[in-house]
């Protein structure tokens, strides 16, 4: 159990492409904003095929090219206990979100939403699954995730300032 003020969980299907990218990018954005001590971050997948695996090599290469090292991350599956620990459960696409919502306790009072709700990218609500596509897809994932991460940091800054005001 973390002692952080806010606990955030990123969710995709395999936890080897999109959610580890969000995990690594968001941690870097928190460091830049000096919020790391207040916020705990993790990521997971709704599927179990890749449990224990490091992020996909294409994901790691695309992230490293922008300065994010994802090599320490290991895939895990979403668990029902996550509802008890996480204040924000942020899904990459509608299918991931529906898979989490179907198991949510009726009294879960955290936020269950799409990560791109925090992005300023218009006309796009999901981070597309890059697994079966080309290299461009991994770059696109990074750009979308950088945008949503910046939006989420701003949102949390407002929330935390509001709490202490």
Active site residues: 12, 18, 129
Least distance CB 49 / ligand 4NP (angstroms): 5
Q: Which residues contact 42 (CB under 8 A, 6 or more apart)?
A: 7, 8, 9, 10, 23, 86
15 touches ligand 4NP (CB under 6 A): yes
Q: How many CB atoms lie within 10 A of CB 135?
A: 11
Residue in 58, 47, 36, 43 with CA at minimum distance from that of residue 14: 47
Q: What are phi and psi of 90, to 5 degrees?
A: -115, 115
Q: How far is CA 67 from CA 18, 30, 37, 141, in A?
A: 16, 14, 21, 15
Q: Which residues contact 41 (CB under 8 A, 6 or more apart)?
A: 8, 9, 10, 23, 26, 27, 30
Among 7, 9, 18, 91, binds ligand 4NP (CB under 6 A): 18
17 touches ligand 4NP (CB under 6 A): yes
146 touches ligand 4NP (CB under 6 A): no
**Site size for ligand 4NP (CB under 6 A):** 11
Q: Which is nearer to ligand 4NP, 78 or 156 (CB)?
A: 78
131 touches ligand 4NP (CB under 6 A): yes
Q: Which is nearer to ligand 4NP, 18 or 40 (CB)?
A: 18
13 touches ligand 4NP (CB under 6 A): yes
Q: Which of residues 33-62 bind ligand 4NP (CB under 6 A)?
A: 45, 49
At 113, list the tokens: 């939403």
70 touches ligand 4NP (CB under 6 A): no
Q: How far is CA 125 from CA 21, 47, 95, 117, 119, in A?
A: 17, 21, 12, 7, 9
9 touches ligand 4NP (CB under 6 A): no
Least distance CB 134 / ligand 4NP (angstroms): 14
List residues binding ligand 4NP (CB under 6 A). 12-18, 45, 49, 129, 131
């Amino acid at each position: 159990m973390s002692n952080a003020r806010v606990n955030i969980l990123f969710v995709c299907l395999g936890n080897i492409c999109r959610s580890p990218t969000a995990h690594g990018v968001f941690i870097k954005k928190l460091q830049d904003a000096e919020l790391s001590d207040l916020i705990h971050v993790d990521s997971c997948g709704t599927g179990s095929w890749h449990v224990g695996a490091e992020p996909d090599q294409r994901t790691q290469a695309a992230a490293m090219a922008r300065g994010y090292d994802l090599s320490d991350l290991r895939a895990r599956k979403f668990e029902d206990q996550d509802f008890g620990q996480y204040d924000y459960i942020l899904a990459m696409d509608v299918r991931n979100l529906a898979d989490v919502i179907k198991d949510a306790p009726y009294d879960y009072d955290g936020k269950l939403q799409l990560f791109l709700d925090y992005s300023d990218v218009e006309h796009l609500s999901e981070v597309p699954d890059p697994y079966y596509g080309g290299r461009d897809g991994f770059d696109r994932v990074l750009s979308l995730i950088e945008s949503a991460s910046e939006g989420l940091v701003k949102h949390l800054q407002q929330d935390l300032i509001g709490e202490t005001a």
